[in-house]
Amino acid sequence: RNTLYVVATPIGNLADISERAQQVLRSVDLICCEDTRHSARLMDHLGCTTPLLSLHEHNERDRSAMIVERLQSGQSIALVSDAGTPLISDPGYVLVNHVIDAQLQVVPIPGASAVITALSISGLPTDRWRFEGFLPSKTGARLKILNALATDHLTLVFYESSHRIEGSLADMAIAFGADRPIVVARELTKTFETVLRGTIADVQQAVAADNNQRKGEFVVLVQGVATEVVGIGDERVVALVNELTAIL
């Protein structure tokens, strides 16, 4: 009671919903979702009859106060997004903060998120990485951000949509160099799941050659700039040792 549950839903394959998520969605008084028609399909699939209420970027501020009131009156409410984990490039930030400010409970029900799913199979370093979400749609603003990331050592992760994938890859080739290793993970967990690995130039070619490679949803992962490993035999180390020996 008096609890907001932040519930992850599948990013494609409907079997990827946890048992706990299903229990919570059935037991709460209300489910807040981005698009009621979209979430109704998942609820039908789960046999869940809990009422749905839309909560998106345009009404989140107004609806949050009402949702807090309902929580204070003893109800429990779930927040889901169209796919994956709420608040990850999706609404919920405003609501979660309203609930925290009202000193009510916020409980996570974890599950799928495209960023983690893509990282887990990318083959790129996952010990440290940087999530950049969606890039701007206009090439000027996009290049500005990409240029600022060009010397980053961390694996860079971006979300991308079908109508922008080619433009973003072209700008990445300019900012990072066409020979930078990249992974494009498309339609994860869905029928046409594809993972392209290679240099940016390789992947650009593969995307240009096949219409289907431009369809669907994408996670783009770019290898960070390699950290230079200086070995004991490196001429700069030898020179430094010689210099130090001369001083001593």
Residues that bind ligand SAM (CB under 6 A): 11-12, 81, 83-85, 88-90, 113-115, 159-161, 185-190, 217-219
Q: How far is the CB of 185 from ligand SAM (least distance, A)?
A: 6
In the complex with ligand SAM, the residue whose CB is nearer, 166 or 232, is: 166
Q: How far is the CB of 144 from ligand SAM (least distance, A)?
A: 20
Q: How far is the CB of 162 from ligand SAM (least distance, A)?
A: 8
By beta-carbon distance, which residue lies closest to ligand SAM?
Answer: 84
| DSSP code string of 82-95 | SSBSTTSSSS-HHH
β-sheet bridge partners, residue 33: 54
In the complex with ligand SAM, the residue whose CB is nearer, 75 or 198, is: 198
Instruction: Return the half-sphere exposure (C-beta side, CA atoms, 13 A cut-off) of residue 173.
Output: 15
Number of H helices, E strands in the chain: 9, 10
Q: How far is the CB of 117 from ligand SAM (least distance, A)?
A: 7
- Provide the residue type at 119 as one letter: L
In the complex with ligand SAM, the residue whose CB is nearer, 15 or 244, is: 15
What is the separation of C-alpha 26 from the centre of its chain, rounded to a whole number of angstroms?
26
In the complex with ligand SAM, the residue whose CB is nearer, 70 or 131, is: 131
Please give the C-alpha separations between residue 10 and each of 5, 55, 146, in angstroms, as whole numbers. Answer: 16, 18, 30
Give the residue from 47, 44, 49, 9 showing the smallest Cα distance to 29. 49
Q: State how far the Cα of 188 lies from the Cα of 26, in Å rounded to an integer.
A: 27
In the complex with ligand SAM, the residue whose CB is nearer, 28 or 83, is: 83
Q: How far is the CB of 115 from ligand SAM (least distance, A)?
A: 6
